[in-house]
Every structure is written in structure tokens, then in C-alpha cells.
Structure 1
Amino acid sequence: MTTSQPAKTRPMRADARRNYERLLAAAATVLEEQGTEASLEEVARRAGVGIGTLYRHFPTRAALLEAVLQESMATLESRANVLAATPDPAAGLLLWLRDLAAYAARYRGLASTVMVNLVDERTEFESCAGMLHAAGKLLQRAQLSGGIRADVSMSDAVTLVNALVWSLEQGGGDPEQFERLFTVLADGLRHPAGA
């Protein structure tokens, strides 16, 4: 009886690697201009490749979006880890949520995409899971310090931030309104005085 060996992943050919990198660069530009529902044909055109090449590298829109956003999610994950070690983790959590809002506002439609992927157990956003795990540790530390309500989950906090970004996106994105609403959100997350 023979046992099959797992197939080794072959390194990407040089031309395939170039196409992959051109697709990522084009996608970042097109998504910033047109939002998360941007035309994939436009991404392929700007990268100088056919749509088939795009789909060989990224079989779904979510896979392309995940690849484009991976670095930002890794940055947010690192930031959550750093802020969890600060003397005031509640203030750190609010700083992290502000960073998350800036990230979600970068591409039109990203806030709603992130909210959908938070509740979908089949999500393709693997790097989102690492970011949320790190942020969850930050939240837990902030709750243990008494600075953040104990009945708030990470999913609650991220949903609130993304809902705020989404609502501002729909209304034209007034920065002053964002500041007011973020202050209300932050006040709601803080542990009630005297509780």
C-alpha cells in the first residue's frame, strides 16, 4: 500500500509573478477610484492582462479584495497588538477603532463588505480573522481595566465603526459629522461611570 505525498506548491513563474503584481497594483488604484464594486475588466485592462489571467490569480472578487487589503489588515493587526500593551488599553482600543474607520473609508463600499464578511462564516477574508483576533485581545484587556463596557463584543465594536463609515459614505462623508458621531460611539463603549 502506498501513501500519497501532498503536492508541493510550485513557485510562481516569473511572468505569472509579474502579472500578479501588476493586477494587485491596478486593483488598488481602481478600487480607490471606483470602490469595492469596481469593474474587474477595468482592473485587468489597467494591468495589461486578459480577464482570464485575473481569474486565474483571483477566482472571486473577494479573493482580489483580500489580496489588495492584506497589508492594511496586517498593519491593523500589528497596531492592535502594540496598543494592547499600553498602560491605557481603553484609550488604545478607541485609537484602534479610529484607525479601522480610516481603513474602512479608504475604498467606497469597503465598510459594508467588511460587515458582511464578519457575519459570514465562509468568509474568504482570512487576514481579517487575524486582525480581529488581535483586536479582540485589545478589547478584552480594555474591559479588564474597567475602561470599556463588559457587554461589548469585538463584532459589536467593528460593526458600529463600519456602520458609521457606511452612513457617512452614503451622505457625502462630512469629517465634522464623523468626529461628532465617533465621539458618541466612543462614549457608548466606555464603562458607565459609577457602575
Structure 2
Amino acid sequence: MRADARKNHDHLLEVAGAAITEQGIDVSLRDIARRAGVGLATLLRHFPTREALLDALLRTNFDELTAKAAALETSSSPDEALASWLRDCVAWTTEYRGVVVLMAAAIDDPESALHASCSTLRAAGARLLTRAQAADKARTDIDGVDLFALVSALAWLGDQRSLASRADHLFDVVASAILTSAPSSDAGAERDPVARN
């Protein structure tokens, strides 16, 4: 990609990210184009569908969360690694309002532009869960699918303005239900899942 095209591409992603944070994933593509100071045709040249735009926007974040899971596998105890990753995952999914609905649908749709990234992210969480289970630090009657569903549920709570003040407490409740010896709620507390809303 030429330097000017890359600059336009990155600018569109930056504007789209801000718009989705403010208005949610249903913000109109026309509004994103207007905010970016381009025509809708220009936006669609870079991102022919809403899903293509979201995939480009979210892929970096998915990759960072997947890489964090891999790093935690070698740097933290199994229970602390799982709790820290869960907190970061929930915090990130509440940053872009409504994205959790799209992620849940993409997991079941191999044709979705988001399917591969969501599946990789779910697998990373499943590895952390399996590691914690092997160390007798997490209950054994849940799997990666259940874990992804719980992340989705917690992220949905963060999207609900009337419930957002309860998000930290409910995260701790869910984490203590998953982990057989829940680490301190300070694990990963530097990223508050409500603070970005």
C-alpha cells in the first residue's frame, strides 16, 4: 500500500474507532465518512462492508489480547494469568460499544470477516483456562466456549449504562465462580472495564 493510501486507511480507522466508541457498532458508515472528511465512496473503497471495517479496526486488538495470553502463560501463575486476561478482554470489549454481539455471531459464522480473529482469541482464553484447570485453580466443568460466553456477558453488562457501575463487582463474582482460589481483585485492576465508557 502506498504511503498516502496507508495514511488515509489509518485515518479512517482512527475516526471509525472514535465513532464506534461514542455511538456503538451501528453508527452509519456515511457518518464515519463525513467525520473523516471523505465521501462514502472513498470509505467503501478502503472497507467495502461494515464487517471489513470492523475487522480491520479490531484485528490489532485481537492480536494484542492473543499475544497477552501467550505472555501470561509463561509469566504468571495459572489463576492470575486467567484473571488478568479476562479483565483485559472484558475491558477491551466494552471499549467499542456493541462489538460483543458481533463477536458472538462471528464465532458461529466461518464466512464472517471476524471469524478467524474471534476464534483465535477464544482459543487463547481456552488455553489459559485449561492451564488453570490443570493446576486445580479453575473449575473443570467449563470450557473455552463457556469462557468466551462469560466474557461476552460481562462486556454486555459494561455496555448497559444503568448497570455499568456494577461491572467491577460482577466481574469479581464471575471470576470467583470460575477460579477455585480467586486472586485479588487488584489483578489487572489498572484496566477498569467501566472507565472507558
Structure 1 contact 89–138 (Cα < 8 Å) conserved: yes
Q: TM-score, with normalisation over the residues of structure 1?
A: 0.83
1:146 aligned to 136, 139, 142, which one?
A: 136
Letter in 2 for 1:117: A
Aligned to 1:133: 123
Which runs of 5 or more structure 1 residues have no equivalent in the other structure? 1-11
- CA 1:180–1:115: 2 relative to 1, 3 Å: same
Structure-2 separation of matches of 1:188 and 1:127: 27
Q: Shift in Å at residue 173 of structure 1?
A: 4.1
1:49 aligned to 26, 38, 43, which one?
A: 38
Q: Does 1:89 align with 2:78?
A: yes
Structure 1 contact 112–163 (Cα < 8 Å) conserved: no
Q: Bigger shift: 121-130 or 158-167?
A: 121-130
Letter in 1 for 2:128: L
Q: TM-score, with normalisation over the residues of structure 2?
A: 0.82
Structure 1 contact 143–149 (Cα < 8 Å) conserved: yes
1:157 aligned to 134, 147, 156, which one?
A: 147
Structure 2 contact 82–132 (Cα < 8 Å) conserved: yes
1:27 aligned to 3, 9, 16, which one?
A: 16
SS of residue matched to 1:85: helix
Aligned to 1:3: none
* Structure with max Cα Rg: 1
Structure 2 contact 136–180 (Cα < 8 Å) conserved: yes
Q: Shift in Å at residue 98 of structure 1?
A: 0.7
Structure-2 separation of matches of 1:169 and 1:123: 23
Structure-1 separation of matches of 2:158 and 2:117: 25
Letter in 2 for 1:37: D
Structure-1 separation of matches of 2:144 and 2:61: 18
- CA 1:131–1:168: 2 relative to 1, 3 Å: closer
Count of equivalent residues = 180
Matches within 5 A, 1:63-78: 63-78=52-67
Structure 1 contact 97–158 (Cα < 8 Å) conserved: no
1:3-42 CA-to-partner distances (Å, cap 9, x unmatched) read xxxxxxxxx3444333212211211111111111111111
- CA 1:53–1:162: 2 relative to 1, 3 Å: same
Q: Shift in Å at residue 184 of structure 1?
A: 1.8
Q: Shift in Å at residue 93 of structure 1?
A: 0.6
Structure-2 separation of matches of 1:168 and 1:14: 38
Structure 1 contact 149–190 (Cα < 8 Å) conserved: yes
CA RMSD, Structure 1 to Structure 2 (Å): 2.0
Structure 1 contact 81–135 (Cα < 8 Å) conserved: no
Letter in 2 for 1:150: T
Structure-2 separation of matches of 1:164 and 1:48: 35
Q: Does 1:110 align with 2:99?
A: yes
Structure 2 contact 68–85 (Cα < 8 Å) conserved: yes
Structure-1 separation of matches of 2:60 and 2:111: 21
Structure 1 contact 80–135 (Cα < 8 Å) conserved: yes
Aligned to 1:6: none
